[in-house]
Structure 1
Amino acid sequence: MTTHRLRSTPIPGTRDSYTDIDFNLGFHVSHYTLDLDYRVLPNRLDAVAKLRIESYEPLDHMTLDLVDNLRVSKVQVESAPVGLARYKHSGGKLRLTFSETLPADNAFELVIRYAGNPRPLRSKWGHIGWEELSSGSLVASQPCGAPSWFPCDDTPDEKATYDFHVTVDNPFTAVCNGTLVGEQRRGSHTTFSWHMERPMATYLATVMVGEYERVVLSKAPVPIIGYVPRSLVADFQRTFARQADMLALYVELFGEYPFPSYTVVVTEDNLEIPLEAAGLSIFGANHAREDRWERLIAHELSHQWFGNSMGLAQWNDIWLNEGFACYAEWLWFEHSTNTPAADAAAHHYRVLAGKPQDLLLSDPGPRDMFDDRVYKRGALMVHGLRTLLGDVAFFAMLRRYVETGRHSVVEPHDLRNEALRACADNDLGAANLDALWQSWLNRLPLPEFPGAARPDAAGGAGRKPHAKV
């Protein structure tokens, strides 16, 4: 039984300082089964959520996150030595009180029936969560929009496996994380069943509903499947033609792809930005029609390693997701066009130099957590590691870091420990790493541009990357 959270550091207080949401403490949700009956035109959701829970502290009560506009009609406790005395749903929290104290290290199930008209949450980052489209719906929950459609423990350091059973009107298709394991048509409705066997954070769970055609882009190194409006299939096949090449490169550089398949969903609507989910990425019609989004296609794919397999313990560490994903863009173009990553790094360094120097990468604050400076400064930090270590040691270190954090959560000290090991293995003093680490992460001024690679680096940092150098 899992009796503690995945993170290795203590939970900082009782409230998430970025989302301003109180933590749900004392238990771990190991699995969600979500039975969703969704009527597209009235935007009506009738649902049953079954949560498999493991207590790691004695519990006389517990809380979950769920928006108030979805009304809870019934809650049951199953397979537990205690019963449910009462529940209350208000203020975005579902509060449960047990009939007596539930001892620690107990496993039980909660069954929650609820219904309503799902809508996105208003947040300091805009609208997040479940959102209606012109023909269907999408879910994009980062960082805290998952309660807009199911009761959950909505914090990034909590991961669970999932089963989704989504019933929609014909001719709509429901696409979720994981593997499609069943499709059953009953009259004017079809139920799509998806199984997600890898643990994922709640903000990465998604349901995409639309009138989609299923397109197989590639079967190797893993199946790459597109769900695309019929009118956009030809555009999609053109603009995503190199998706399999990207995946093959990232497998070589980062290690084994972390999910059984990769799914790309293209909505009928235009989207301002693409969105990542575990094992799946979401793009707008504009991203399929236009030929200028190759870097974003590479960026979202790389999140399957950085962010979706290797999750965050807390949101102030978001540079670990976005810095590596941004650097992965540069690695792709280094491979595909022979444009050194150092060139992209130098360009973005000059851009950053002209912007305010008031962002602390290790803790940018909720207002700036999605600021482009986090992405680019994080990528430059990664480039600094590469130039310090040289390609051979850097890519070996990177693969160890990815493998160690696979389907878990990572914190900056995990990366630092791997970098220290690489320094020791390659006769590099830790002082240089300490200087790099402090200047890029923990100080406001922009440091000097990362220097040249070590002479023994194969080709030098900024040359074509290869995992076997």
Structure 2
Amino acid sequence: MSRGKSGRAQAAPGGAAGADRSGDSYLPGHGNGGYRVTHYDLELTYRPNTGRLSGRARISAVAEPGAAGEPLSGFSLDLGAFRVDGVLVDGARAARYTHRADKLRIRPARPLPAGTPFTVEVRYVGVPRPVKTRHWGDLGWEQLEDGALVAGQPIGAPSWFPCDDHPADKASYRIEVTAPSPYTVVAAGTLDSCTVGASTTTWVYEHPAPMSSYLATVQIGLYDLVELTDAAVSPVSQRAAVPPRLRERFDHDFARQPRMMAAFEDLFGPYPFDEYAVVVTDDELEVPVEAQTLAIFGANHVDGQRGCERLVAHELAHQWFGNSLSVADWRHIWLNEGFAKYAEWLWSEVSGSLPAATIAARTRARLADQPQDLLVADPGMPRMFDDRVYQRGALTLHALRTVLGDDTFFAVLREWTATHRHATVTTEEFTALAGRRAAQPLDALFTAWLHAPRLPELPGPR
């Protein structure tokens, strides 16, 4: 398959049908070719007592040309083990389809010429099943003790809606969820309306900014809604959904988040979305979960002593690095995780705790005792979320900061987030930008830190 500038796969050569593979170097079976999505409109009804989810997804897309410019005669969406009750193309035209092995393959009544906008409506129902993976466990929609959460990274989105499941295909979203009235629903985006019926409540969230499918999310639980906005510190709207029993501990542990937001805006540039939300589940989670415009923490991450504040910083930083700026291909994962890890160190420094230089030195000393067999810029699919990608990615940034100096380094970060706001990024684009800002060549630094397995020494202070 060939790849377009966006990093998405194009239609397979010699065929008029859209490819049902993305062309991603790590996860080619997730995502599809032949079109690009512009908008998802999801209407969901969830019954927590049975776990049943019924949905109607209306997807707006644009056909892309095949290798020879032929029209799009068929295409596919990623969708888990639901019963599909019908597929329409362009509103009134019933389309032929098959649904096997988590691929919904659709053949419209007439081929779609390149550049043609079209809509697909899929009605489906079932009990969502997480996407099972060998390396990362179960991903996607998960039923909790009392509610549900979505943890989509990297390939969990098809567990709850039909999509083009590749990070480079970013679209706007409208997410409508109807659930029993005692439950609170939080989704990616801004709450547009909340309509209470006889026994259910319908929540509607709008998100006009482009979003990768794995970053879309829905959280359902018996939560108190908490206002975190502190206009005197940061004008960004901030809110939370928290189990009542954890409220006191939460109020202490997240009290400094508005200050953190202000610090990151100073370091990284303006916050890229309209608001930011935090959800704390009443269940324990192994790690917090990133989503666009919100982050999900487990009850075990709220201890009343700010014991997990570095994770609060990490998830907030992902709104810039990973969400607004999304990887064009999963091999560039360090651009998400290395940057968010370094944000932890920056918050430590800004908040009066250990300087980033001290944390970097200690981190390098620990990594020196571990296997040195990983390339940060291309770790391989099984090790995408290896802790060394996070740690060595952060060390790469600290090494760059040391060489460039603070003024130039943070100017690079702000230019990076501004230039690629709501778009996709690659390692090569970042190293090129840093190189343009540097007074000396950076090739040796980036080769050593990103493209060689041996752990380099940290450069000395300027």
Q: Same fold by TM (over 0.5)?
A: yes
On the 8 A contact 1:216/1:224 being kept in 2, the answer is yes
Give the Å deviation of 1:8.
6.0
- SS of the counterpart of 2:86? strand
| 2:202 match | 191
- Which amino acid in 2 is paired with 1:55? A
| 1:435 match | 444
For each residue in 1:292-349, what CA deviation from the matched residue of structure 2 results, as whole angstroms up to 9, or x when unmatched?
A: 1011011111000000110000111100011110100110011112522110000110
Select the residue among 210, 217, 220 that pairs with 1:206. Answer: 217
Give the Å deviation of 1:14.
5.2
| 2:110 match | 100
- SS of the counterpart of 2:129? coil
Number of residues of Structure 1 aligned to a counterpart in Structure 2: 441
Give the Å deviation of 1:449.
1.7
Give the Å deviation of 1:219.
3.9
| 1:178 match | 189
CA distance in 2, matches of 1:48, 1:14: 24
| 1:115 match | 125
- SS of the counterpart of 1:445? coil
User: Is residue 409 of structure 1 aligned with residue 424 of structure 2?
Assistant: yes
Give the Å deviation of 1:366.
1.4
For each residue in 1:351-400, what CA deviation from the matched residue of structure 2 results, as whole angstroms up to 9, or x when unmatched?
A: 11010011111111111111110000000100111011001111111100
| 2:33 match | 25
- Which amino acid in 2 is paired with 1:268? D
On the 8 A contact 1:172/1:211 being kept in 2, the answer is yes
CA distance in 1, matches of 2:40, 2:95: 23
Select the residue among 67, 73, 78 that pairs with 1:60. Answer: 73
Select the residue among 307, 326, 330 that pairs with 1:315. Answer: 330
CA distance in 1, matches of 2:8, 2:157: 24
| 1:40 match | 48
For each residue in 1:97-140, what CA deviation from the matched residue of structure 2 results, as whole angstroms up to 9, or x when unmatched?
A: 12332100000111100000012111121010000111100000
Q: Percent identity?
A: 49
- SS of the counterpart of 1:102? coil
| 2:83 match | 71
On the 8 A contact 2:272/2:421 being kept in 1, the answer is yes
CA distance in 1, matches of 2:199, 2:446: 58
On the 8 A contact 1:312/1:410 being kept in 2, the answer is yes
On the 8 A contact 1:5/1:158 being kept in 2, the answer is no
Could you tell me which runs of 5 or more consecutive residues in structure 1 were left unpaired when the two chains were aligned. 455-469
CA distance in 1, matches of 2:271, 2:382: 32
| 1:447 match | 456
On the 8 A contact 2:260/2:313 being kept in 1, the answer is yes
- SS of the counterpart of 2:128? coil
CA distance in 1, matches of 2:277, 2:211: 16
For each residue in 1:124-159, what CA deviation from the matched residue of structure 2 results, as whole angstroms up to 9, or x when unmatched?
A: 210100001111000001000100000000001110
| 1:326 match | 341
Select the residue among 235, 257, 260 that pairs with 1:246. Answer: 260
Q: Calculate the aligned-residue CA RMSD, in Å.
A: 1.7
- SS of the counterpart of 1:316? helix
TM-score of the superposed pair, with normalisation by structure 2: 0.92
CA distance in 1, matches of 2:107, 2:253: 53
CA distance in 2, matches of 1:98, 1:191: 32
- SS of the counterpart of 1:304? coil
User: Is residue 7 of structure 1 aligned with residue 16 of structure 2?
Assistant: no
Matches of residues 196-275 of structure 1 in structure 2 within 5 Å? 196-220=207-231, 221=234, 222-275=236-289
| 2:16 match | none
CA distance in 1, matches of 2:293, 2:191: 12
Give the Å deviation of 1:451.
2.2
| 2:170 match | 159
- Which amino acid in 2 is paired with 1:7? S
CA distance in 2, matches of 1:102, 1:219: 50
CA distance in 1, matches of 2:372, 2:186: 42
- SS of the counterpart of 2:302? helix
| 1:378 match | 393
Select the residue among 356, 362, 366 that pairs with 1:347. Answer: 362
Moved more, 318-327 or 412-421: 412-421
